Every structure is written in structure tokens, then in C-alpha cells.
A and B are shown apart, each in its own frame.
Chain A
Amino acid sequence: METTPNGLEPLLKTVWHLPARRGGRLVGTEPPRGGDATGRMDQCSIKEPRSGTWPYALLCAVMWLFIGLGIGPAQLYHHQTPVFMSGIDSLVEGCSSVAGGMTEYLGAALTQTFHRPWLGALILALLLGCIAMLSNRWLTGVTGRPHLFAGIVPVVLLLTLLSGWALPVASMVGMALALLAGVLFAAAVKKTTWLAFATFALLTPALYPATAGPYLFFAALALLHAVMRRRWLLAALCGLSGVAVPYLVGIRLWHCNAREAYLGNLLFEYDYNPQILSTATYAAYPLILVWAVMVAWRGRRNAELPAIHSPHMAFARAAALVVWAVACGLATHDARLGTILRVDRHARDREWEQALSAAAPMRWSPSTTVGQLKDLVYLPYLSPRFPRTAQQSVPLRLSYESLLHNVNLALQQQGRLLDELFCYPQVMGMSAVRMLPDNVGPYVAHSYNIDVLLHLGHVNEAERVACEVLANIGPRPWLLERLAMIYALKDQPATAAVFVASLARQPAHRDQANRWREALTADPGLKNNILASEIRPYMYREDFVGSYIGSHPDEEMLLRLLHNNPHNRVAFDFLMAHYLLNLRHDQILRRVPVLGEFGYDRMPRHMEEAVLMHAKLTGDRLDLRGRQISSATLQRFQRFDQVIERMGGLSGKDPRPVRDALRPEFADTYWFYCLFGNTFFEVESEQRLKEGTP
């Protein structure tokens, strides 16, 4: 009662589990019989001090709100969507097929909860809280004193990773398991060296097969602990095991590659470049130990250890810590990837309007600055490591290309593609139809082609791409739905039913699967399904082999689809977009007379712009077969022309002043794209502009 006013010592004891004070010194931290805070404390009969659980509860509660409101588990789920099948067979297969399989399986199981956002947020918050608590217990075990604040440092780093969408649940589970093993080891070390040896020997065969990479983390924790206790033989065993066990078990026995054996389920999996945060999270532990040693040394020199002065102070420090954690999370929140994820999620769900709303930050407006879009557009998310293996918890490697692909499809489905294509940052050289040409890039990228091929009516090609993606990234729920649709369209309801049954084995998608099942039972060919009835008229009626060396180019494919069904609006729109993006305004002009066959009662804006540009460049007199160009477009083109005239034209000059003069008013036009090779933002074109070759 001497140092804590207001008689709060009992309260502090309760909430912090503080040992009784004697003469201003914590009983438990007093080094009896020659022990010290950092040295050989194994022979101490000390009562181990502990921190309480309420700061963790507070931390969990705040993180729950932050994750639920700020990050959004729905986006996280969409990003990660690890394959998870219920059932004993899947459990056994998941746990036994690869080192660390159990952790992966558990991570995938927990990720299912993200489908219910607040439950997912709670799971994540609990996992983070658990890691904080275990970190603290480990540090307490090693140094003999509670380190609530230091223990939360790794969690802050984890939260920043989560804010950047770079934290797989499996890695968190692995980390928690490794820390738990570290705490058990710490407890054993306190007893006898032989018990420590035995504990390490018992934990190793359990932990490595279950976690893979996190075992290394555990071995490192044990090594640090042994070094702190100056148990050199034990330290050597821990160090040697950390190197040898992954090699012997992972590489030799399980035939994993070195990365899987040593780094599987560590944080590096999603943390793309430069992996500073992941490294820092693990490095935090030895650094905290160094800090603890320094504090203890200072405390010994001052003959007194730092003490917690009051519960108010304790509360204030805990609150400050939580605020710090959330502030770090907020500061590092990757809103750009969040935008891409939102667009992608809505596009996968065919919520076109919502997808375009989510893509609003990309849409051009007169106030758009190049700088704003540079950041948004050039994202380094395509990882060279994809896919480590098929059917793992690999995330969607979203990129600007996928975003633009989604936007273009959403525009088409909303009937706005030929009016608003250039309202979004289009890049010359990109395909309007397929995100990537055949056999280029990671296969998850090809998954984007499935939807556009389906809408075009090229169902067999969609089937091919979908099956390729299935072989590569496993039965993701959205993929199973598409495969079910494909086979229903191909009048193979039994095949569709297999994919639906597989979907039903994913707990988060059981209801969805049941709806599919009912639909297929009542209507095997999905004749009454809106999407299927849109696609079915566009499907091929006569067989042909497009190419014997791969899938055929976009233009050829679209022309063939139009030949098959001259009213295929999707094919027409994408063909026009293809011509617009490739500056084929002559082809646009040729198609003006048939606009009515595709339900157009007026000429779309970009087609008007292309027609005017064609007339300007060729000097031809336009024959639009009764179609009119709107007065708004005509007037706008006159102004466009006047700006160029006023700037003295483009030939032989640095085009940048002209571009800058045109951008505020015309950056969303075909004319601007035609002259500068992009819409309104592109960085690469800077080089071309410098070279004077727009």
C-alpha cells in the first residue's frame, strides 16, 4: 500500500495479477539466489508476474470495430477465398498432403466466417488478441516480468499488414500456435534443462507437420530463450532443429520445395514487396528482448524496476496502446486495393451498378488530376510467386488490369460501354475483351475471361478457361457457380449438379448451393434463369474449330460470334470497343448503319467521336445512312478542334502543352485517346510524349 494510493493495490493485483510489493520491489522480479532478470532464473522459486486480460479484451473490442468497419471482412474474404471443403476426407487430405497443411486447413476454415462480416471481424480480432496475449506470456516467461506493451508491438504490425490486405489467416493461426509452443517451452525451461529438452523434442514433431514455417519461428523463440538463460546446448539444439527439421521432414520426407518447407504459412505469403512489415513482425521479438534486457539492466542499476504507478496510468497506457494500434492500422490501410477489391467483388456477383459506383474514384471528371490516378492505376499486386500450388489459400492477385476489365464488362452490361469507355483510364494495347491473351500470365487472371466469354455466348471457350482455372486455383466458390452455369447452358445438368454439390460442401456457400440445386431440379437447362436466357441465344449453333494452335484473336472471335448471331449485342459492343481501342475508326463508320439491329436508337457517343475523327483525318464526306451525330458532340468536336488550332497544331512539336490544354475538357473522349494513346492519366506515355511520338 505504500506506492499505490487510494488503496487500489488489490484492484491492481486482480486486473494485472501483480505480485505483492515489498519495499517498492516486485516480489516476483527479485532475483533470489544469484539469479537476475535476464540471467539464469530457472532456479528461482519466484511467483511469475502476469498482466491481466482486460487490456486484451479492450484491444480485441477496438480491433473488432476497426476490422468490421474499416477493412471489411467481405473484401478480405473475396481477396483470400481459400478453398475449404467440409468433411473428414478433406480434413485428412488437407492436413496430410503438405507440411503445414493443418494450419492451412484451419486458416481456410476460419476464413469462412468472413462471409458473415462481423463474425469474421470477431475471429480476426480474437486471433490478434490471442497473439498479443501469447507474446506477452512468452516475454514474461523469458524475462520474468510482464511486457504488455511490448507484447502488443507485433500485433500492431500484424494489423498494419491486415490493413494492407496482406495477412493470411493461416499465418496468424501458425503464429499463434508457435507462440503457444514458445510459452510451453518457456514454462519448461523454468523447471529443468532436461524438461526443456523434452518439451522441445515433443513439440517439434507436432508443430512442424502442423504449421511448417511457424515452426522456425518457434525454434527461434526457443533459441532466444535458451540464449537468455545461457543454456548453450539447448540453444544449439533449437538452432539446429530450426534448420534441420524443415529439411528432413519438409524437403526430404514431404518433398516440399525449400520455400514451402521453411517459409510456408509465414507472413511472407501475402506481403508482396518489399516484405518489410512481415520481417519486422518476426524481428520484433528479439528486439523486444533486447529492450527488456536494457530496461532490466537500468532497473538493476537504479536498484528498482519500473513500476506501474496507478490503475489510471495502466488504463491510460493500455488505451494509448490500442489507439496506437488502430492508428497504425488506419495509416497503412490500402484504400486503393480496397477499391479494386470492391469493384471485383461486385463484378463477380454481377452487381454491375455497384461495381461502377465502387469504381467511381477511377472515373474521369474535369477536376481529376493525373497524380490522383497515377497512384490508383499502377499497382504492384501481380506477384511472381503465383500460384505456389494449386488449391491453396492464394489470394486473387488483383491488378489495375483486372479492375479495368471489370469496369468494361460492367459498362457493357449496363449498356454504357460505347458511351463511357473513355471515362475510365484506358490504355492502348490492352484488350477490351479478354484480360490476358491465351497462356500468358497467371491463370487466376484468366478467370476474368470466363464472364466475358459467357456473356458473349462462347460457352465452350468459357468452359475451357474455367476448367483451366479450376485445375490451377481449385474450387473457389465463384468458379463453381460459373462452371454450374456453363454446364447447365451446355444441357449437362448432371455435370452442373456436381459443381453445385461441391459448392454445398463449402460451409459459407451452402445456401447459395441450395438455391442452385432447387433451380437445377426445377429447370435443368435454366431456361427461366435471366442470365442463362440472355446467353443462350448467343451460343454457337454450328461447330467449328477456331484454331489448331490456341484460341483465336479477339477480333476474329467477335466477328465469328456476330456471324453466328447477327444480333449479339455483347459481341457488337466489344467489337466496337476493340476498334475504338485500336483506332480503327473506319470500322466504326462501317457499323453505324447496323446500330438499330442491336437496339441502339441513337449513335453512342464514342462512335460519334470516332466518326468525326475519321472524317477529319480522311476528309471524306460522311454517309451515316440516316443516323445523326448529336449537336453536343458536334459542338464539342469544334471546340476540340479550336483548342488544337489555337495551340498551333500537333505536328513536329512537343505535344504536351496541347495535351495539357485539352485534358480538362476532352480527356474522356476518343479524340484525346486517339491523339495521345491513352485517356487521361497514363504515366508511360510521358516517355512517348517526350519523344514527340504521341
Chain B
Amino acid sequence: MRIIAGMTWKELLRKKVMLLTLLLTVVFLLAFWFVAQTIGKNDVFDGNGMISFSTMIARFTNGAFILMLGFFFGSFVIAFLAIFSSFSAVSGEAEQGIMQAMLPRPLPRWKWYFGRWLGYVSLGVIYAGVLFASILLITRYHAAIPQNPAALLRAFLLFVSTVPLLVSLAMLGSGIFSALGNGVLMTMLYGAGWLGGMLDKLSGSLRLEPDGLVMLHNLTGLISMAMPADSLQRRMTTELLSIKELSGIVDITSGSFSMLSGGTGPSDTFIIYAIGYTLVALLIGLYRFQRRDL
């Protein structure tokens, strides 16, 4: 399994997937730096240079906005990295004939599958960790960020949890559909999840009839069940920002925050559902791969 995971790392590095991702990340972080700087200039100092209470609130408000802006982009990047690195894991190699030379070795199929999964997930999680830390550090430099380690850890785990979820689903799809078909399907599914999240966020400000609102909530709930990635990201921002320091000070569900923030975010039950969803996708993918004719 270690050999296959290592091979996957080498593949992503040699194919310059990571290089291009890192280069574009640097570009993003530079842009993010200037955006954060611009927003951070809204700080107001009193005459003797001391930070007043209102300044502190302003810094946290700015920080919250910058963070949400950063993670809004960051969640897209890690989602697409997870999808596009793994969407052809099975079908692509089978179609090209690469797998036919590898699997007649004394290598159980489950080891190959888990090895690939581990390779994609580990690299994705490391990248997500770097992105997460970069966004926090830049925000901290220009504004203020919540500093509760438990909240940060929970937010980090939720942020990276989309990587195993999307990799498991993309690998399952690649065992059923062609590489191209699976790539399109995964992108559309993720897009649908994102759209469902947006509708959920905006539903409060649409002034719908109660019946229409219920139907909309049901619809977005179903979409979230089919693709929980966006809901996990919304829960992440909720976790990150709903800590003591900001509680009751910054209203993240209103104004310009509403488009970027997670609003109330999904429940703990939904988190358990998402974990189960990931495991089931992984195990069904493995089950199908074990029985697949190559």
C-alpha cells in the first residue's frame, strides 16, 4: 500500500499537478494579501495609539470577513484538487492499460485501491493544511483571527474533511464511469452542492412564501445529502467564527457576510452523516474494484 501511495505522490508531482497548484496558490495568496491589507486598513486607532474597544471589534469584523473570503476560495481549490487528481484513478488507468500490467503482481486489489486513496488524500490534506495556515496567517497580519486552539482545530478538520470525501466519491465514480464522464459528473455534483449551499444562505433574504421556503429548504437539504462538501465548509466557517470572542459581536449571517459565510451551518448529525458518506463511498468503490474485470 505504501508503494502505491508513494507512486501516487510521485505521479502528482511528476505530472506537475502539485507544481501548478502551488504556483496558482502563491498567486492567490499574493492577491489575498493585498485584499486583506485593503480591508485591514479600516482599523481606527484613537489619538494616543491605544487600541480601543471599537477598534478591536473592527479588527475582528475585518478578520472574519477576510477569513471567509479566503476560505470561500480555498474550499474551491481543495475540492477541485481532490476531484481532478482522482477522477480517473480506476477508469483512466484501466482504459490506458496501465493497470493490466500492475495488478497481476502479488498485490491484493484492496491494497492498490487504498494506496491510491491514501496518496491522493494525504497530498490533498497536506496542501489543504498549508492553505489553511496561509489564510489564517495573512488574516492575522492584517486584522485579527480567533485564537481558540480547539475552534481552530475543529475548523481545520472540517476544512480538510472534504478531501477524503471527494476523493472517495471520485474514485467510486471512476470505477463506474469513464474518466471523462466521471470528471464531468463530479464537477457538476460539486457545483450542485455549492449551489444548494448558496440557495440555503440566500433563502432568508428572498422573502418567499412559507410553503416555498419549506420546499426550498427540502431541496437544498437533498442536494446537501447528495454532495455534503459545501455544507462541511459552511460548518467550518461557523466553527471558526462562532467562538466566544466574536459571539454576539459580529453578525455573520447578515449583509456582505451572508454570501460567504456558512450561516448557521449544518448540525452535528450532518457531520456524522458526511463521515458515513465518505466511508460508504470508499467501501463501495473498493467492493466494485475487487470484482471489476480489467
Are chains A and B native binding partners rather than an unrelated pairing?
no
